[in-house]
Structure 1
Amino acid sequence: MMQAKDFFEVGLKFHGHKCPAMPLGLRAGAAAMNALGAERSQDKELVLLAETGNDHAAGCFVDGLMTITGCTYGKSNIKKTYYGKMAFTLIDTQKQKAVRVQLKPEFFGKMLQSPFVQQRKQGVPPQDVPASITDPLVEGVMKRAEEEFLDISPVFDYPFEKGKGTFDTDLCEACGERVFVHKLQDVKGKKVCIPCAEKTK
């Protein structure tokens, strides 16, 4: 059984500052993995679809998800949908099962009224918010019962077809840089990379 507390220190180092949202990701990710009976992803056993974006509060949630699930951008097994929701779907590609987890709307609404968020709204960087404000919130997240802040769907079927990684490369005939072949474009009979193709538009 996954325990968020076992990944807390790693999550802090990876994320870079202490805030309530990263631990929320740890807790939510652990809940999803436990619902699926899944282990941390070593390769692409798990795929995560995060419904967050990149221009709103609490995006730090995703770093917690990545830390505990092992779904990372380097392994290409996490994607953002940019829906602007504090929710995600975790897919077990081997069992072809998935679960969707979201922060309860009323909990998230109250969270955005917290002293931490008020400081952030005033332009205070997260690492400069006083520990007297941050620490109790983080501790509360780590100790809170799941049912108080998470909506966890029933596990459902999720047919998932794994793609094959590309190992073949070639040189762009415009800039000379090496490119994975599936990203080369045909422009006037030449194989060119995406940036060079865009320059010709």
Structure 2
Amino acid sequence: MIDANDYLETGFIFHGHRCPAMPLGMRIGAAAMNALGVDRSKDKELYLIAETGNDHAAGCFVDGLMTITGCTYGKSNIEKTYYGKMAFTLIDTINQKAIRAYIKPEFFGNMLKSPFVEQRKIGVPPQDIDSEIAEPLINKILSIPEENFLVISPVFDYAFEKKKGVFDTGLCEECGERTFAHKLQDVNGKILCKPCAEK
């Protein structure tokens, strides 16, 4: 069984500040992994589709998901849909199974009324919010029963197509930078990287 508490301090170091949304992502990620019966991804055994965006409160949630699941942008086994939802699908790429989880609407709504979020709304950076505000919320996230905040689907089949890694490169004939071959483009007989091709 995966326990979010085992990764908590690593999560806060990686994330950069203490807030309630990051450990919430860790707890929901751990619950999804346990329901799916998988371990933390060492390479691409798991794939995560996050439904969050990049311009709203609680985006810290995704750092919690990355910390606990091992799905990272560096391994290319996570993507964002930018739906603006606090939800995700976790895929077991080996067994072709998946699970979808999301924060209960009423719990999410109440989170956005918390004193932490009120401070964020007036422009206080998260790292500058008093620990007397942040820590009780973090402790609450770590202690409340999952059924109070989490909706998790049954396990379902998911046809996941694994892609092979690209190891071949070439030089862009404009900027001279080495680029992975599948991203080079032929533009009027010149082999260019994407930025040079778009100029």
Residue 66, structure 1, aligned to residue 66, structure 2 = yes
The aligned counterpart of 2:138 is 138
Deviation at 1:99, TM superposition (A): 0.3
* 1:80 to 2:80 alignment: yes
The CA distance in 2 between the partners of 1:101 and 1:144, in whole Å, is 17
Distance in 1 between the 2:79 and 2:37 partners? 22
Gaps of 5+ in 1: none
Instruction: Render the CA deviation track for 1:50-84: whole Å, top value 9, x for unaligned.
Output: 00000000000000000000000000000000000
Report the Cα distance in structure 1 between the residues aligned to 2:13 and 2:143, rounded to whole angstroms: 20
Aligned to 1:56: 56
C-alpha distance in 2, partners of 1:10/1:96?
A: 29
Structure 1 runs, 4 residues or longer, greater than 6 Å off: none
Tell me the amino acid that sits aligned with residue 64 of structure 1.
Answer: G
Q: Does 1:20 align with 2:42?
A: no
- Structure 1 equivalent of residue 112 of structure 2: 112
C-alpha RMSD of the superposition = 0.4
2:95 — aligned with what? 95
How much does 1:114 deviate?
Answer: 0.3
**TM-score, normalised on structure 1?**
0.98
How many Å separate the matches in 1 of 2:143 and 2:51? 25
Deviations 1:96-152 (A, max 9, x none): 000000000000000000000000000000011111110000000000100000000
Could you tell me how far 1:164 is from its partner in structure 2?
A: 0.5
Where does residue 9 of structure 1 map in the other structure?
9
Corresponding position: 1:39 with 2:39: yes
Percent identity (aligned): 73
Deviation at 1:161, TM superposition (A): 1.1
SS in structure 2 of the partner of residue 186 of structure 1: strand
d(CA) in 2 for partners of 1:51, 1:67? 17
In structure 1, C-alpha distance between the alignment counterparts of 2:174 and 2:115, rounded to whole Å: 53
Letter in structure 2 aligned against 1:117? V
C-alpha distance in 2 between matches for 1:108 and 1:141: 12
Give the secondary-structure state (helix, strand or coil) at the position aligned to 2:11.
Answer: helix
Structure 1 match to 2:128: 128
AA matched with 1:162: K
Give 3-state SS (helix, strand or coil) of 1:182's partner: helix
2:192 aligns to what? 192
C-alpha separation in 2, matches of 1:84 and 1:131 = 28
Residue in structure 2 matched with residue 178 of structure 1 by the alignment:
178
Residue of structure 2 in register with 1:167 after alignment: 167
Q: How far apart are the structure 2 equivalents of 1:105 and 1:59?
A: 16
Q: Which residue of 2 aligns with 1:154?
A: 154
